[in-house]
Every structure is written in structure tokens, then in C-alpha cells.
């Protein structure tokens, strides 16, 4: 049974890279009948954003990733961190460092000038037979951990296999700032250890942090979890994903008309695969996912693929679900007597819920203008007479017109009688009913609107001779 977590920092909104990490962690915990926890890393009080914190929880609720237990907030665990910092100080595994910022900057500049890797030089590190400098007045010290001076830090990464870090690359890093606040690497290690994490799935931008965290695990005698470092999501050009490319707040995807199933399906494939399969239900993800199969190379964001997936889910979820989702966009269909027919017709072409709403409104809303290009192309000298005759046919058969097939039954003989080509009749009707030439089947539109509304819209177009402004 795997115990995993997702631990975002509320300094910004949850983006899709973070959601993918959360999804992988969720799937592995649920597949193994383990535990998935949510932890908010909010110790950076100056950068915390309460709205972003709320948005993280809102995003989890929207996509349906349920977590176990209550949300853990690091800001409420400061006493725990300070206890372990003191333990390391008492055991001689950490020490106070009084080097000022100016001294650290000067040291860094000197090392860079000598083409050396910038690192703390151990000035305040206690050693046998070493005399430490005199403690300066007015300097609040930081706490540094004693990292190994030599050897190799080794761990097995579930994605990248064996990883080795030379201890010379890991200096005595700070675990508590001068104001007493513990640092990121320290609190993450303490939390993961005390929350019994068995598997830590995170972005590969944390890879270098892992060596430091292992130093802390070993200094405190904690078991080291299994790490999986997931490659980043790049834009189609292979560069870091930006907002323009799709690195949006997760809730922006809801606002743009995506279904959560489509977004999760899209994200699970950005770094993991099961042969050539593209469509995955949550049940299939849970059955098939294994972090050992996460790709070693970065994935590329593909908006066309996301739109394709979203169109698939729009077509395949229930109409009741679509009607509920459309309420978010102020499109209310519940109670409409043609709801099923309307959704069945419009969802076939929609890639997003916004497109679905627009298609629905194009049918339901009375046109306020007619497309100029369409009227010039399809409204000819005899069009008005043809439509007047067609309205008369509708009136004569109005008691028999209910379904699309009923309208088709009377229209085909009309076309033959007047020796028309289909666009000569259907495009003017489509313009009269919706204002434009791009719309679904005329028969379906008429069945949805009903005979009286169809006649009304046709007569309005006839009366103004399809003038653009009504």
C-alpha cells in the first residue's frame, strides 16, 4: 500500500503541471489501496496567497481528486519542526552559523571568480581541534546541518534509475533561517517522514533537493521514501511551458469550457502511456497506472489533443450532466421541453462547453441581424417567393410537424416541385432561423423551435428581405 501526497505551495494558483503530479500520486495510492494526502506548504508567510490556497482546494474538488484525512498546513506545525532542529543541534549534527549576508556574497563572488561551484565554506562548522571565530554582536544566526564531507549520496529514482550525488556538491545548507523559520527542504523531509510517505512523486525540478533531503533523513534516522521525479511539460517547441502555451490556473480550464475528465485524461498521457491508447476512464487509469512507467523525457503540451479529448467527453457524458455543466456559463436548459434534442444536436460539433453554449444559443435566441456574406450568396431574387410558399406549406401541415423527420417529409416534395437545389432553400432558412449559414441540420432546428417559432422567424426575414440590421 503506497502512501503518497501532493504538497503545493499557495504562492500561486495550481497549474496543470502540479495537477499532473497530484493525479499520478492519487492514482498510485488508490491503485495500491493506500493513502493519498494533501499538504499545503505555507511556511513562506510573505508570499502566501489566501486566494491561491482556496483555488487549490477548489481545483481538487472540481477534478474529483479526493484526499484522505484533513488537509495538513505546515504553518500549524512549526513547533514540530523546531523540535527536530533542536534535536540536531543537541546531537551535534547541526550548528549555528553567524556569517552575514555580505560575507556570504563576498565568498560567492570569490568562488565564481575562481570558477568554483559556489558553496558555504564551513567557517562556523564545529570540528575537532578547530577554533571558531568570535561570535559577532547583533547577528542572528542561521542553523546549518552538517552534510557529509566526502562520499556519494545515492538513491534509486523510480523514473531515472540510480542517481548519485557527490557529497562535495552538497554543502552545509541552512535548515532554519535567522528568524527561526525552518527552510523548505527541512520541513518537507520532516512532514514526509512523520506522515509515513512511502512514495514521493514530484517534478524533476526537485531532483537536486533530494540529495539534501536524504542528508536530513539520515541525520534524524528516518526511512527514506521511494522517489519518482517526473520530467517537465514543455511547449510544442520544447521550451518551458508558459501561460500562453497552456500553463494556466487549473480553474481557468473550467472557465474555458473543459470537462475535468478531459483534463485528467490529457494530463495522464503527458508523461505516461499504455501502448497507443488515448482515451482513459478513471477506472482504466487506476487499473493501468504505475509510476515505474513514467517517461524519462519531457512531454509536449498539445492543445489540439486536449480539444479532441474534450469533444469526445462532451459527446459521451449524459445530457443531464451537460445541462448541469452549462449552468456555470449561464445557460439553463432544465425545464426546456426540447433539452434532449437540443443537446444531442449541438454536442456533436462542440469542442468546449462554451462552443456548446454558443451553438445552443444560436438556435434558441431570435436573430438580431443576418450574416451579410451569407445573404449576398444565398438570398436571390426569387428567394422571398420561395420562402413565402414554404411558410404556406408549413401552415397547411402544422398539426403534423413535430419531429425532424416530419419536416423532411413535407420539404423534399417542395424542393422537387420548385426544382430547387438543397442550398437554395436550406441556406436562406438557416439564415432566417439562426442569423448565419453555420448551423446544424435545418430539419433538427425546426423540430427544436417548433412550428410557430419557425414561421415567426421566417416571416421576420421575409418582411425585411434579409436586411442585416433588423
Secondary structure (3-state) at 132: coil
Q: Which residues contact 448 (CB under 8 A, 6 or more apart)?
A: 338, 341, 342, 345, 363
Q: What is the DSSP string of 390-452?
A: HHHHHHHTGGG--SHHHHHHHHHHHHHHTT--HHHHHHHHHHHHHSSS--S-HHHHHHHH-HH
Which residues does residue 94 pair with via DSSP β-bridges, in sequence order? 145
Are 367 and 445 within 8 A, CB to CB? no
* C-alpha cell read off for 243: 501561460
Interatomic CA distance for residues 438 and 27, integer angstroms: 42
* 32: Cβ contacts below 8 Å, ≥ 6 apart: 1, 2
Greatest CA separation for the chain: 111
Cα 316 from Cα 121, distance rounded (Å): 62
b/e 335-359 (16+ beta carbons within 10 angstroms → b): eeebbebbbebbbeebbbbbbbbeb
Residue 243 appears among annotated catalytic residues = yes
Query: Cα–Cα distance between 371 and 172 in angstroms, integer?
Result: 71
Tell me if 243 is assigned to a ligand binding site.
yes
Q: What are phi and psi of 366, to 5 degrees?
A: -65, 130
Q: Which of 243, 256, 324, 468 is catalytic?
A: 243
Q: Please check whether residue 116 is in contact with residue 171, taking contact to mean a CB–CB distance below 8 angstroms.
A: no
Which residues are tagged catalytic?
A: 243
| Residues annotated within a binding site for ATP | 243
| Residues annotated within a binding site | 243
Amino acid at each position: 500500500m503506497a502512501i503518497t501526497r501532493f504538497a503545493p505551495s499557495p504562492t500561486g494558483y495550481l497549474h496543470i503541471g502540479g495537477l499532473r503530479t497530484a493525479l499520478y500520486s492519487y492514482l498510485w495510492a488508490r491503485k495500491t489501496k493506500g493513502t493519498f494526502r494533501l499538504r499545503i506548504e505555507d511556511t513562506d508567510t510573505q508570499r502566501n496567497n489566501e486566494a491561491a490556497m482556496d483555488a487549490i482546494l477548489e481545483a481538487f474538488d472540481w477534478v474529483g481528486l479526493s484526499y484522505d484525512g484533513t488537509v495538513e498546513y505546515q504553518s500549524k506545525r512549526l513547533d514540530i519542526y523546531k523540535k527536530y532542529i533542536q534535536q540536531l543541534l543537541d546531537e551535534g549534527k547541526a550548528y549555528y552559523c553567524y556569517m552575514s549576508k555580505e560575507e556570504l556574497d563576498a565568498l560567492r563572488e570569490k568562488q565564481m571568480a575562481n570558477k568554483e561551484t559556489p558553496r558555504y565554506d564551513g567557517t562556523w562548522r564545529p570540528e575537532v581541534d578547530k577554533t571558531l571565530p568570535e561570535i559577532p554582536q547583533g547577528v542572528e544566526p542561521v542553523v546549518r546541518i552538517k552534510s557529509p564531507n566526502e562520499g556519494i549520496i545515492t538513491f534509486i529514482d523510480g523514473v531515472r534509475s540510480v542517481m548519485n550525488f557527490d557529497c562535495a556538491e552538497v554543502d552545509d545548507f541552512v535548515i532554519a533561517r535567522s528568524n527561526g523559520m525552518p527552510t523548505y527542504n527541512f520541513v518537507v523531509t520532516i512532514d514526509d517522514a512523520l506522515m509515513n510517505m512511502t512514495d514521493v512523486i514530484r517534478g524533476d525540478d526537485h531532483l537536486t533537493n533530494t540529495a539534501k533531503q536524504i542528508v536530513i533523513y539520515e541525520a534524524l534516522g528516518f526511512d527514506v521514501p521511494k522517489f519518482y521525479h517526473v520530467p517537465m511539460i514543455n511547449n510544442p517547441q520544447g521550451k518551458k511551458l508558459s501561460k500562453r502555451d497552456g500553463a494556466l490556473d487549473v480553474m481557468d480550464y473550467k472557465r474555458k469550457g473543459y470537462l475535468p475528465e478531459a483534463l485528467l485524461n490529457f494530463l495522464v498521457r503527458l508523461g505516461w502511456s499504455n501502448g497507443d491508447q488515448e482515451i482513459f476512464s478513471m477506472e482504466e487509469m487506476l487499473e493501468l497506472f504505475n509510476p515505474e512507467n513514467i517517461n524519462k523525457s519531457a512531454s509536449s503540451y498539445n492543445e489540439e489533443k486536449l480539444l479532441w479529448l474534450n469533444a469526445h467527453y462532451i459527446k459521451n457524458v449524459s445530457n443531464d450532466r451537460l445541462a448541469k455543466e452549462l449552468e456555470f456559463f449561464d445557460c439553463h436548459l432544465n425545464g426546456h421541453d426540447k433539452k434532449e434534442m437540443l443537446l444531442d444536436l449541438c454536442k456533436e460539433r462542440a469542442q468546449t462547453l462554451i462552443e456548446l453554449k454558443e451553438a445552443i444559443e444560436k438556435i434558441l435566441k431570435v436573430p438580431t441581424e443576418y450574416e451579410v456574406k451569407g445573404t449576398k450568396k444565398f438570398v436571390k431574387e426569387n428567394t422571398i417567393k420561395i420562402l413565402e410558399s414554404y411558410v404556406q406549406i408549413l401552415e397547411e401541415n402544422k398539426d403534423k410537424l413535430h419531429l425532424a423527420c416530419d419536416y423532411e417529409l413535407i420539404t423534399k416534395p417542395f424542393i422537387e416541385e420548385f426544382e430547387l437545389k438543397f442550398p437554395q432553400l436550406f441556406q436562406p432558412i438557416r439564415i432566417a432561423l439562426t442569423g448565419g449559414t453555420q448551423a446544424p441540420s435545418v430539419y433538427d432546428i425546426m423540430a427544436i423551435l417548433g412550428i410557430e417559432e419557425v414561421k415567426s422567424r421566417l416571416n421576420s426575414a421575409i418582411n425585411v428581405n434579409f436586411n442585416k440590421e433588423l
